[in-house]
Amino acid sequence: MEKSARCLYVSTSPQELLGRPLNEIEQKFAPSKLFLSSGKSIPLPRPRVAIVGSRKASSQGILLAQEIASFLAGKSVIVVSGLAEGIDTAAHEAAIRHGGSTVAVLGTPLDKFYPAKNVGLQKTIMRNHWAISQFPVGYPTEPKNFVIRNRTMALVSDASIIVEAGETSGSLHQGWEALRLGRPLFISKVITDNVSLKWPKKMMEYGAVELTEFEEVIDVLPSSERILQIIRSEVCLSV
């Protein structure tokens, strides 16, 4: 059932967040509970695209993330990212700056701010957009948590875009999880043109595609009308 806006949600579930049951593949790594702070209602009402990439991004990567997020915001697509430095921050900020909506999937509990420099951005998202975490207050922050949250980020996104990432980037976990879930995965030309990287070719063998035109992302997304239709049908079935 849809929850009202302007509330702090102590807990919810992936099913409530998405407005539909999870399929068998989605259930395998899905958290049983999510903690949500938001100034907007749930279920998430529109198509969602994750923009992810390196924390130590190049200026070219930052600019590309901003361009993609701005484009998606202009198409009423919700921009999803992980609130990390670099590509994530660029994506969140560009979406907000261009009047769009964004979801931050945290690798920490909602009462922690990581990185510390993103305190203001996280608070803005918690008040006016959607911030979610699968880690309860008091849960220790460990490196593995950020890998786990990438699985959840892939789950809540209808498609994912890797903007810039090296061979050991955490964004690769997001990419493989998106492919496992059967979600569209796009890899930017910044990456595919880099002949020193081996992982793009491996992912493309499993269905990832090179991002050449931003419109390609829109073409694979469900429409807002279709998402609302699914949500309404599930609400009716639960009554």
Residue 239 lies in a domain: no
pLDDT over 90 percentage in the chain: 86
Residue, of 234 and 226, whose pLDDT is higher: 226
> CATH number, domain at 224?
3.40.50.450
What local confidence, expressed as pLDDT, does residue 225 receive? 82
Residue 85 lies in a domain: yes
What local confidence, expressed as pLDDT, does residue 238 receive? 52
DSSP letter string, 91-112: HHHHHHHTT--EEEE-SS-TT-
- Count, residues in the chain: 239
Q: How far is CA 127 from CA 38, 40, 131, in A?
A: 5, 8, 9
What local confidence, expressed as pLDDT, does residue 239 receive? 43
What local confidence, expressed as pLDDT, does residue 224 receive? 77
What local confidence, expressed as pLDDT, does residue 227 receive? 77
Confidence of residue 233 (pLDDT cuts 50, 70, 90): confident
Mean pLDDT of 198-203: 97
Structural domain count, the chain? 1
User: Are the C-beta atoms of residues 147 and 119 closer than 8 Å to each other?
Assistant: no
Assign 3-state DSSP to the chain and report helix, strand, coil percentages, each to 5: 45, 20, 40
Residue 29 scores a pLDDT above 70: yes
Q: Phi first, then psi: what are they for 35, rounded to 5°?
A: -110, 130
User: Are the C-beta atoms of residues 157 and 149 closer than 8 Å to each other?
Assistant: no
Q: Domain residues for 175?
A: 7-232
228-233: long-range pairs with CB below 8 Å, 24+: 228/45, 230/19, 230/20, 231/2, 231/19, 231/20, 231/43, 231/45
For residues 44 and 46, what is the distance between their CA atoms, to the nearest angstrom? 6
Mean pLDDT of 120-147: 95
User: How does the average pLDDT of the chain come out, rounded?
Assistant: 92
Residue 237 lies in a domain: no
Residue 1 lies in a domain: no
Residue 129 scores a pLDDT above 90: yes
Residue 71 scores a pLDDT above 60: yes
Question: Which residue in 188, 184, 216, 212 sits closest to 200, CA to CA?
Answer: 188
How do 130-133 and 34-38 pair as beta strands? antiparallel
Which secondary structure element, helix H or strand E, spans residue 154, and what is its range? helix 143-156
Residue 126 lies in a domain: yes
For residues 48 and 160, what is the distance between their CA atoms, to the nearest angstrom? 9
32 CA to centre of own chain: 18
Residue 224 lies in a domain: yes
Residue 34 lies in a domain: yes
Token pair, residue 23, equals: 């399929």
Per-residue pLDDT of 168-191, as tens digits, reads 999 999 999 999 999 999 999 999
Confidence of residue 234 (pLDDT cuts 50, 70, 90): low
Residue, of 121 and 9, whose pLDDT is higher: 121
**Position 193: which residue type?**
D
Q: Phi first, then psi: what are they for 205, rounded to 5°?
A: -65, -25
For residues 131 and 228, what is the distance between their CA atoms, to the nearest angstrom? 21
pTM, 2 dp: 0.92
Q: Phi first, then psi: what are they for 146, rounded to 5°?
A: -75, -30
Confidence of residue 8 (pLDDT cuts 50, 70, 90): low
Residue 181 lies in a domain: yes
Question: What is the SS3 assignment for 150?
Answer: helix
Residue 5 scores a pLDDT above 50: no
What local confidence, expressed as pLDDT, does residue 1 receive? 36
What local confidence, expressed as pLDDT, does residue 121 receive? 98
